[in-house]
Amino acid sequence: MATNTSSLLQPPLDTQAWLNGVRAAWQRSGLRITGPRLRVIETIVSYRAPFSAEQLYADLCTHSDAPGRATVYRTIDQLHASGWLARIHGSVGEEGYIPCQPGHLHHLVCTQCGAVTSFEGCDIEQMIANVAAQTGFSVEGHLLQLFGRCAKCRSKDQATS
């Protein structure tokens, strides 16, 4: 049976909804919404490609009121732990983050331009259950990233050949 893949793809991130969601989550968990934390999340949501913690820190350091390195790293850790950031593993070992909505998402990563597309749903639960039963391993989660070339990059390649 064919799966309707268009319904699995996530719409592009609504930056204002993401910022509001992070602020609300911080308030619910008792975290203070400080100026430095706000600068961190506003910079995060401005990126259009995966970013590293060091890149974020360097970009923030261009301002006179830049948050400290510890604030940047702690904020990334908090956002990742609560599902507001996803860690993306590149095809050649590099690692970065993208803002996302909390939930069970997977990612398509373009090896040419670095674009990341989120999708939901994966039919590997039965395989995971079988592996867990065979090995006695207690699976607590999984990560699925697919690498390849996005439609735009493939179109560019076809146009130049």
Which residues carry a binding-site annotation for Zn(2+)? 110, 113, 150, 153
pLDDT of amino acid 117: 84
Confidence of residue 122 (pLDDT cuts 50, 70, 90): confident
Of residues 41 and 3, more confidence is placed in: 41
Which residue positions form the known binding site?
104, 110, 113, 125, 142, 150, 153
pLDDT for 92 equals 65
User: Average pLDDT, whole number, for the chain?
Assistant: 85
Long-range contacts of 101-107 (CB under 8 A, 24+ apart): 101/10, 101/13, 101/18, 101/21, 102/25, 105/10, 106/143, 106/144, 106/145, 106/146, 107/144, 107/145, 107/146
Calpha distance 47→138 (Å, rounded)? 36
Which burial class, exposed, middle or buried, applies to 54 when counting CB atoms under 10 A from its CB (0-12, 13-18, 19+)?
exposed
Binding residues for Fe cation: 104, 125, 142
- Quote the pLDDT of residue 11: 56
Contact present, 116 and 97 (Cβ < 8 Å): no
Go through the domains of the chain in sequence order and give each one's CATH number: 13-102 (1.10.10.10), 104-161 (3.30.1490.190)
Q: Is the pLDDT of residue 118 over 70?
A: yes
Q: Is the pLDDT of residue 146 over 90?
A: no
